[in-house]
Amino acid sequence: MLFSRFFAPTSKDAPSDAQIISHILMLRAGMISQMASGIYCWLPLAARVMEKISKIIDEEQSRIGSQKVYFTTIQSADLWIESGRYDAYGKEMLRIKDRKDAPFLYSPTNEEQATDLFRKYVKSYRGLPLCLYQIHWKFRDEIRPRFGVMRGREFLMKDAYSFDLDPAGATRTYQQMFRAYVRTFRRMGLTPVPVQASSGAIGGNMSHEFHVLADTGESTLYYDQKILSASDDDELMSTFAVSDEKYDAATAPLREDELMVSKGIEVGHIFYFGKKYSESMNAFVLDANGNKVYPEMGSYGIGVSRLVAAIIEASHDDRGIVWPEQVAPFDVTVLNLYPDDAKCREIAAWIHDSFSASGVEVLYDDRTISIGEKLADADLIGIPWQIIIGKKKIATGLVELKNRKTKEIEEMPPEKLLGRFRS
Ligand code: 5CA
């Protein structure tokens, strides 16, 4: 991709209305553009990151047998009246009427719809267990949308819904999902902190939130510091960690001086709520003896668009974003510092073409702008590797390969570069 053709309207100035670093950097890097409070367009850099995140989620969901669907963003109000949540959801729900005056709504979440789909088609215990998920837009008319896409009104969520025959099966599914979440967030370069949580509007009896620690987080977490170095999932599940709503100093198993208190960004939330929706919406199967059984359900969310901001909160420096390789918008950027020089142009174009042909995602900055601006944009956008092409070095047959994170520079002949990126 040539930067001269690429739609990334970067800017030097920090926008006046942005308070946290991820919001500032996303605006400055030309990743998002505000449409209304809490509603954003996602420009190419951001869209590419969101696709990388989605792909990791897809792979980890598929690994545990969770199947991808697309529910609808527009739902009929009838389903919510049936579950009893239509009135309870209040002003956060965006309510819509069609031309016949029939009541609809824009999905804030899809438990009702998943349960409805299930009851239409699954009639026997043989259809269980079943887990369906989607990655789709949601709308919640938050009172206080803020921090850019961190707390938006329109946001992209991965939401999964599981159906099991009995509590033992449902607990197994919940634990599988817990493990899949740990793997998912680690693959994005994050250190997830799972905390016991209350289940709020979703309802139910078991719930964990997954957090990324950051001073700008909106939640307060109380935890045993061991959780930060816990390597296996059982240790993660059994180590004390709770969200503020659940914290009770009188019952915490740690002394106050052993207890860690930090701010966290909630990037995922999983719930086991049993028969809440299957019973209220009369979704049942027949067991082996022909008896009616209401399945045990859970739902499992990941804030996909919020993750883009959370990753930036966790990985940036004073010059800009530092993307972890697994979610970076491009693998590498080529910075031709002398676009008017024939030799530099030839080498840069050759690197771009040979990398692209090998499936390495490369952004070639071919723009005629100052060297300072070019380097500043590259650091701002945060692609993990920079290939820097300068006149003097190229005369000796070398280019520079710079690591965005460590700032280390290696010199090498251009022919050697590709070997570093082909896996
Ligand atoms: N139905 C359940 C699970 S599928 C559910 O909706 N859970 S949730 O309300 O906790 O949302 C799931 C995840 O979406 C949250 O953990 C958070 O990461 C993200 N999220 C929730 N509200 C917003 C918002 N206003 N802006 C951005 N992301 C959000």
pLDDT at 409: 98
Distance 269 CA to ligand 1 centre (A): 7
C-alpha 151 – ligand 1 centre gap (Å):
9
Residue 124 is given by DSSP the state: B
For the segment 253-260, the average pLDDT, to the nearest whole number, is 86
Mean pLDDT value of segment 382-396: 97
Dist. CA 203–CA 186, nearest whole Å: 28
- Return d(Cα 184, Cα 163) in angstroms, integer: 22
For residue 68, count CB atoms less than 10 angstroms from its CB and return exposed for 0-12, middle for 13-18, buried for 19 or more.
Answer: middle
Domain made up of 332-420: CATH architecture: 3-Layer(aba) Sandwich (3.40)
CA of 306 to the centre of ligand 1 (A): 9
Nearest residue to 162 via CA among 304, 301, 335:
301
Q: Which is it for strands 385-389 and 332-336: parallel, antiparallel or unpaired?
A: parallel
Cα 142 to ligand 1 centre (Å) = 12
Looking from the CA of residue 151, the nearest atom of ligand 1 is 26
Query: Of 181, 412, 418, 189, whose CA–CA distance to 321 is shortest?
Result: 189
Q: Which of the pair, 56 or 200, is modelled with greater confidence?
A: 56
pLDDT tens, 324-347?
A: 999 999 999 999 999 999 999 999
Instruction: Give the residue-averaged pLDDT of 216-241.
Output: 90
List % helix, strand, coil for the chain (3-state, nearest 5).
35, 30, 35
Three-state secondary structure call for residue 273 = strand
Q: In angstroms, rounded to a whole number, what is the distance separating the alpha carbons of residues 201 and 95?
A: 18
Please name the helix (run of DSSP H) or strand (run of DSSP E) that holds residue 47, with its range, or none. helix 44-63
State the alpha helices, DSSP H only, in 270-406. Answer: 276-280, 304-314, 342-357, 371-381, 391-395
What confidence tens digit (pLDDT) does each residue in 174-220 have? 999 999 999 999 999 999 999 998 766 655 678 999 999 999 999 99
Angle in degrees, CA 400, 338, 321, rounded to 5: 55
**Best residue for ligand 1 mutational test, from 153, 306, 311 (most atoms within 8 Å of Cβ):** 306
pLDDT of 348 strictly over 90: yes
CATH architecture of 15-317: 2-Layer Sandwich (3.30)
The whole model's pTM is what? Answer: 0.96
- Judge whether residue 423 has pLDDT over 70: no
Q: Are domains 15-317 and 332-420 of this chain identical in fold?
A: no
Output the CA torsion 353→359→360→363 (10° steps): 50
Can you give the pLDDT at residue 231? 83
Determine the Cα–Cα distance for residues 279 and 296; give it in Å rounded to an integer. Answer: 10
Quick check: 285 pLDDT over 70?
Answer: yes
Q: How do residues 106-121 score in pLDDT, each as one tens digit?
A: 999 999 999 999 999 9
- Answer whether 269 contacts ligand 1 (Cβ < 6 A): yes
Question: Given ligand 1 and candidates 269, 272, 313, which is best to mutate, with the most ligand atoms within 8 Å of its CB?
Answer: 269
Q: Mean pLDDT throughout 73-85?
A: 97
Q: What digits encode the pLDDT tens for the residues 118-168?
A: 999 999 999 999 999 999 999 999 999 999 999 999 999 999 999 999 999
Determine the average pLDDT of the residues in 410-418.
96
What residue ranges do the domains of the chain occupy?
15-317, 332-420
Kindly indicate the confidence band of residue 408, based on its pLDDT and cuts at 50, 70 and 90. Answer: very high
Does the beta carbon of 303 sit less than 6 angstroms from any atom of ligand 1? Answer: yes
Atom 10 (ligand 1) nearest CA: 269
Residues of the chain above pLDDT 70, percent? 98
Average pLDDT over every residue of 11-30: 93
